[in-house]
Amino acid sequence: MNCHSTQSELEPKASGYRILLMGNPNVGKSVIFSKLTGVEVESANYTGTTISFTKGDWQFRGKQGDLIDVPGTYSLDASSEAEKVAIDMLKQEAADAIVVVLDATNLERNLFFASQIQHLSTEILKKPIPVIFALNMIDVAKRQGIDIDVDSLQEYLDAPVISTVAVRNIGLSELMEATIHSIEENASFQKKEWSKSEDDRWIWVGKVIREVQQVEHRHPTWLEKLGDATMRPFPGIPIAFLVMSIALGIVVGGGKGLRGAILLPLVHRVIVPFLDRVVQLFVTEGILYNVLMGEYGMLVKGIEWPFALILPYVLLFYVVLSFMEDSGYLPRLGVLVDGVFRKIGIQGGNIVPMIMGYGCAIPAILGTRAATTQKERLMVASMVTFTVPCAAQTGAFIALLGDHSVFLLIAVYLVSFIAILVSGMMLNRFIPGKSDPMLLEIPNLLLPDRQTLIKKIKLRVKHFIVEAEVPMVLGVGFAALLAETGALVQVGVVLSPLVEGWLGLPPEATLGLILGIVRRELAVLPLLELGLSGIQLFTGAVVALFYMPCLAVLGVLVKEFGAKIGLLVGLGTTISAFVLGGLFFQIANIVTAIIG
């Protein structure tokens, strides 16, 4: 059994040895955790991927226990939510050993944390806990010409040091062996004294680095050169445009191809006829048959929309996002946009949760825990909920607008982008508190490991299928029921001043507003086959862009920030949707009247 929790209260361990996995951010803890427990957790090449702890079970050569993936921390003084979780873990003294993961390409900073842990584990905790070090990413270190004398490091750290390449499973058996050995030898546990003072610690770090590390001076590799280039305005900004264009091409072009060439024919020619034959064995007409197999039937649109229209874009979006994450490109984008972001009161590093929001708002909102102030967390979470379309919405927009005109599609994203800036500036004024400078750590630019990448994409698509596709199928079923029983017409009459009068949409669009409560992208899909004009399409898209966040997103907002904030954000976005959509329609109407 494994659990993913947002609290830092640990349940007592069942049996075996409990091991804490700790270290600086972005050193490979989550990859090690996944390899040792088989539990899939998010890992990415930027800091702050793991924001709460995850527990998983390990088994190794007849021994067993649990392993806890702790969020990365720079030090042991709690300055962000994630760091507090890590410190809590330690203080609970429930572990039998601590495995500290060190990044071999960044040894100096990692050693500072190592000495803090050693100090704590031997002098502060009532019962000293053995500490084992994994010197990870030695493949990258080697490429950078960094050579580390492991034996000597072992002496300085007064604990076993095992070299590892986590993504390739190198050294992990040795790591487990050393850990179990240390736990079982704990009886004769005697360690040297570790200094309390921060200054002493830095002096010690300096000395160790001089003794154990040799850096061969050599020409930078092409990846290092590229890594630096991406952060300078020139050629960084052109590169960013190129990257974004390629990303868009893959998602939009690839998704359209996948949809048109494979998925739509599959749904229309194979799946739906097959389901129809099965259903016809039981019912052949009446409300039940129509709810299942009618034009908007649960087994017709309920299959076509989520699987043939949305899934291809979600899949390709995650391919692109995962690649950008694991290559370490995202934080570099953060450096480029830092200037613009600072003007609206947030740090460039927050670009990472914002971009994650283009996948799904939930991980993005959770990702804001890495932000150092509550104000900034709230700002980023609200902006993501309000303005950033998720991958499923993108799929729906492409389906709605892409065939009509690419310009409409681009215009919707432009509106979203402007809304990000404007809402950022407004939130910055109205939310009390301040935003602190955030340490934006730039990871090495890496060629992502293929296996890790594939696993991650699979995990995300699986999540999407479970969490989004099922509600979508059910939502369509519910809508079909409303339509078949005539209830929809009645709701339509009530909402007619809003839908027809203010927004200029046909009464059928009411269905989108009802379905959109469950999932935001469903607000778009009912508009697909209504034969709308360009202006109506765009109005519908603007309403859907800002419409009520998905129920699951609201749930996360409430959990993270409380009911009041959740309600405020939900209401704010819904009202903006109607105001902005209606304004657009009314103005466009007047303009066309004047021109034509």
Residues that bind ligand GTP (CB under 6 A): 25-31, 43-45, 47-50, 71-72, 136-137, 139-140, 165-167, 326, 446, 449, 452
- Report, in Å, the least distance between residue 18 CB and ligand GTP: 18
Query: CB under 5 to 8 A by kind: which of Mg ion, ligand GTP, none does 166 bind?
Result: ligand GTP
Please identify the residue of the shown chain whose CB is closest to the bound ligand GTP. 72
CB of 367 or CB of 477, closer to Mg ion:
367
Size of the site for Mg ion (CB under 5 A): 4
CB of 96 or CB of 326, closer to ligand GTP:
326
CB of 101 or CB of 569, closer to Mg ion:
101
Query: CB under 5 to 8 A by kind: which of Mg ion, ligand GTP, none does 27 bind?
Result: ligand GTP
**Residue 392: partners with Cβ closer than 8 Å, 6 or more residues away:** 310, 313, 314, 360, 464, 468, 519, 520, 521
Check if the beta carbon of residue 70 is closer than 8 Å to that of residue 21: yes
CA separation for the pair 322, 434 (Å, rounded) = 32
Q: Which two tokens stand for residue 402?
A: 């892409």
**Residue 115: partners with Cβ closer than 8 Å, 6 or more residues away:** 194, 195, 201, 204, 205
- Which strands make up the sheet holding 63-69, listed edge to edge? 3-4, 54-60, 63-69, 17-23, 97-103, 131-136, 161-163
Check if the beta carbon of residue 304 is closer than 8 Å to that of residue 259: no
- Report, in Å, the least distance between residue 348 CB and ligand GTP: 17
Residue choice 10, 17, 24, 30 for contact with Mg ion (CB under 5 A): 30
- Report, in Å, the least distance between residue 82 CB and Mg ion: 10
- Report, in Å, the least distance between residue 7 CB and ligand GTP: 17
- Report, in Å, the least distance between residue 292 CB and ligand GTP: 44
Which residues ranging from 41 to 80 are in contact with Mg ion (CB under 5 A)?
49-50
- Report, in Å, the least distance between residue 401 CB and Mg ion: 37
Residue keyed to tokens 């300055």: 79
CB of 50 or CB of 382, closer to Mg ion:
50
Residue keyed to tokens 């959740």: 566
My answer on whether omega of the bond before 507 falls inside 30° of 0, hence cis, is no
CB of 47 or CB of 393, closer to ligand GTP:
47
CB of 33 or CB of 547, closer to Mg ion:
33
Pairing of strands 97-103, 131-136: parallel
CA separation for the pair 386, 549 (Å, rounded) = 8
- Report, in Å, the least distance between residue 454 CB and ligand GTP: 12
Query: CB under 5 to 8 A by kind: which of ligand GTP, Mg ion, none does 357 bind?
Result: none
What is the longest distance spanned by two Cα atoms in the chain?
91
Is residue 24 a contact point for Mg ion (CB under 5 A)? Answer: no
DSSP string across 351-414: HHHHHHHTT-HHHHHHHGGGSSSHHHHHHHHHHHHHH---HHHHHHHIIIIITT-HHHHHHHHH
CB of 359 or CB of 471, closer to Mg ion:
359
CB of 31 or CB of 67, closer to ligand GTP:
31
CB of 72 or CB of 504, closer to ligand GTP:
72
- Report, in Å, the least distance between residue 132 CB and Mg ion: 18
**Residue 543: partners with Cβ closer than 8 Å, 6 or more residues away:** 503, 523, 577, 578, 580, 581
Comparing CA positions, the residue from 146, 142, 115 lying closest to residue 131 is 115
Query: CB under 5 to 8 A by kind: which of ligand GTP, Mg ion, none does 25 bind?
Result: ligand GTP
- Report, in Å, the least distance between residue 10 CB and Mg ion: 17
- Report, in Å, the least distance between residue 293 CB and ligand GTP: 46
3-state class (DSSP) for residue 260 = helix
Check if the beta carbon of residue 66 is closer than 8 Å to that of residue 13: yes
CB of 97 or CB of 172, closer to ligand GTP:
172
Query: CB under 5 to 8 A by kind: which of ligand GTP, Mg ion, none does 382 bind?
Result: none
Question: What is the enclosing helix (H) or strand (E) of 565?
Answer: helix 563-595
CB of 71 or CB of 566, closer to Mg ion:
71
Q: List the x/- string, 185-214, binding to Mg ion by CB under 5 A.
A: ------------------------------
3-state class (DSSP) for residue 182 = helix
- For the chain, state the CA radius of gyration: 27
Query: CB under 5 to 8 A by kind: which of ligand GTP, Mg ion, none does 35 bind?
Result: none
CA separation for the pair 399, 535 (Å, rounded) = 16
Q: Which two tokens stand for residue 309?
A: 């229209």
- Report, in Å, the least distance between residue 9 CB and ligand GTP: 20
Query: CB under 5 to 8 A by kind: which of Mg ion, ligand GTP, none does 365 bind?
Result: none
Site of interaction with Mg ion (CB under 5 A): 29-30, 49-50
